[in-house]
Structure formats: structure tokens, C-alpha cells
Amino acid sequence: MREFDLIQRFFDRPTRQGQVRLGIGDDGAILQVPEAHELVVVTDTLVEGVHFRATDGADNLGYKALAVNLSDLAAMGAVPIWALLNLTLPEANERWLGQFSEGFFSLASQYDVALVGGDTTRGPLCVSVTAGGWVSAGQALTRSGAGVSDRVWITGTIGDAALALALGEQSLASGGSETRWLLDRLHRPTPRIGIGQALYGLASAVIDISDGLLADLGQIVGASGQAGAIIEATSLPLSPAGESYPLDDRMTWALTGGDDYELCMTVPQAKSERMRRLSKEAGVSLTDIGCITDQAGIVLTRAGVPIAGPSRAGYEHLWPVIGEGDS
């Protein structure tokens, strides 16, 4: 199949998005930014064997490649508008492409995100999405505004994706509805778009949890120039689907597992009531799990008493270093 035909068949779709003046088909897309707004741009790449397995399903991959980007836009408080898709494919498998585009557009249409361009190349399977959205000028949420004694809140439940990963590949055939739910948490995370947009004026800092709560809360602490935070272990929102697993494992998955794509935000104590109201209005659970402190490090407590945390903070890519002295 020629590149042109592939794009026409699987990716060129009409959009209702008024701010897209020109989409797929030219050398570049033309996009409008409404007056008094700013453009927020995010990008994320999924590599086979690192971020997903060949057996995960093309529809899930298409969905997730966009979802992780929409999650970044949510963490910035932005309204998602458009996306670019860079696909590196070993072959043009029509069934695979059909499923991939179905997964991608099932999420894109939910938020009226227009696919406005991309690139298609031949090589080892890799999917990279760049997405854009708008915020009212000056209203983007960042990681850097957390203050001492701000409460730490998170959306939804955490540790589900890590549990699903631990379940392994055979589980889908043998598992019941709970297993399916967990696998969906891994493959089809829900970007917290609505909550993100509601946080302006409420949250002092926001991040999406992709590398594990400890690591990502650490990013907020660092970017905000703070010393540390306390997390109360008994407050962590764990899903009922994991109930049959040892609590220690569930804690480790929740704190370090990653791939949650929930939001973690800090909120001044005086606004706690508004957070509880937002949770009811948005139909998403929001849980107060701790606070920012002036003591160094992220401390885990149980009923207020410090306890030992997991030995590893979260997922990190490590590269073999090639430097001077190597030939």
C-alpha cells in the first residue's frame, strides 16, 4: 500500500473542529488560536517492547497513544483540539491499521480532537502523537506552584495499570469482568480532561501520574522549590478490583507503578471544600492523600506515623552511557 492511500483510508477524517482551517493533505496544517488564548503543546511516544507489547491489541494502542497526550493536556488545564500522528510501521497490515485507527478515533471523537497531520514511515513499530489545546491566556496549570501545607489530591484510583501488567498476558482469556476492567485501566486510561479544566483557581500545581505517584509528586515538589511531602498510606484510593492481592503489593503498585494517568494536584487547605464539591459535580473521585511539607523528602505515614516506603520511586528510562573513553 502506498503512503497516500494508507493515510486516505485510515486517517483522513472530517472534523467538526472549527479552529482547524486546514488539516491532512497539505505540507502543513493551519490552526487558529482563539483570541486571548494560549496554545499548549504536548507529545508522547510509545515504543513496542518498552511501552506496549505486540499482543496488547492495535485498537488499544491507537487509543492509548492519544490518551496519554490528552492526559498531559488535562494536567495543563487545556481544552484538547488537534493531534499529529507519527507512525513507524514494519508493514501495512490493513486489519491492524483498521483496528488502530478505530481505537484512536474512538477517543478523538469523544473530545472532538481533529487529526490534522502526521508522518508515516517504515521501520520498527513506534507511535508518536503530538497534541495541542487551548487555555485562556495565563490560566494554564503547571507543576511549580505548590506551597507548604497545601493538600495533595489525586483523581480516581491508582495502581490498577501496574496490577494489570503484573497479571500477565494469559489473564484476559481466563479472567472475569474485574480482570477486564483492570486491563482497560492499563490499555485505555481515561484522560481527566474535565477535572483539569476545572482546576484553575483551585490547584496550585498539577501533574499527571505516568511514572508512579512518588516520582510524579516528587516532580511537583522539586519544580515548586519545596522540601517534601507527606502521603498517608491509608488514604490512598485503591480500587476494589485489586482487593484479593496482598496489601503490600497494592501499595507498591499505587506508589510506584505508573501508567495511571490520573491527576495529582496540590490545593491550598482553604479550598478543600470546593474540591469535595468538584468531585461530586464531575462524577470523579477526588481524594486528599497528604500535604506538602518543609521537611526533606516524601514521607509515607500510616495513621500519621512514618513507615518505610518502597525502595524504588517509579519508572525511569535508563540508557547505556557512551561517552569519552569508549571506542
> Interface with Mg ion by CB under 5 A: which residues?
119
Instruction: Determine contact, residues 191/172, Cβ cutoff 8 Å.
Output: no
126 binds ligand ADP (CB under 6 A): no
- Of 117, 156, 191, 314, the residue at the interface with ligand ADP (CB under 6 A) is 117
326 binds ligand ADP (CB under 6 A): no
> Could you say whether residue 27 binds ligand ADP (CB under 6 A)?
yes
* Strand-pair category, 126-136 with 37-47: antiparallel
| 45 belongs to the binding site for ligand ADP (CB under 6 A) | no
Specify the residue, 118 or 175, whose C-beta has the smaller distance to Mg ion. 118
Decide whether 111 or 181 has the Cβ nearer to ligand ADP: 111
Q: Is 171 in contact with 180 (CB distance < 8 Å)?
A: no
Footprint (CB under 6 A) of ligand ADP, residues 86-105: 87
- Does position 132 interact with ligand ADP (CB under 6 A)? The reply is no
Q: Minimal distance in Å, beta carbon 209 to Mg ion? A: 34
Member of 115, 141, 255, 275 binding ligand ADP (CB under 6 A): 115
220 binds, among Mg ion, ligand ADP, none (CB under 5 to 8 A by kind): none
Q: Which is nearer to ligand ADP, 123 or 320 (CB)?
A: 123
d(CA 105, CA 83): 11
Angle at 280 between CA 144 and CA 203, to 5 degrees: 10
The SS3 assignment for 114 reads strand
d(CA 54, CA 99): 13
Task: Point out which residues pair with 213 in neighbouring strands.
Answer: none
Long-range CB contacts for residues 57-61, cutoff 8 Å, separation at least 24: 57/99, 57/103, 57/187, 58/95, 58/96, 58/97, 58/99, 58/100, 58/103, 59/99, 59/100, 59/102, 59/103, 59/106, 60/103, 60/187, 60/188, 61/100, 61/103, 61/127
Binding segment (CB under 6 A) for ligand ADP, from list 13-21, 111-119, 177-185, 252-260: 111-119
Query: Is residue 26 at the binding interface for ligand ADP, with CB under 6 A as the rule?
Result: yes
CB 242 within 8 A of CB 159: yes
> How many residues contact ligand ADP, by CB under 6 A?
14
Residue 85 found at the interface with ligand ADP (CB under 6 A): yes
Closer of 25 and 49 to ligand ADP (Cβ): 25
Cell of 319: 540508557
* Nearer CB in complex with Mg ion: 25/297: 25
Nearest residue to the partner ligand ADP, using Cβ: 117
Residues 86, 282: Cα–Cα separation, whole Å = 33
Position 119 contacts ligand ADP (CB under 6 A): yes
Region label for 154, one of left (φ > 0), alpha (ψ between -120 and 50) or beta (otherwise)? beta
Out of 19, 45, 106, 120, name the contact with ligand ADP by CB under 6 A. 120
Closest approach of Mg ion to the CB of residue 84, in Å: 11
Binding residues for ligand ADP, per CB under 6 A?
A: 3, 7, 11, 24-27, 85, 87, 115, 117-120
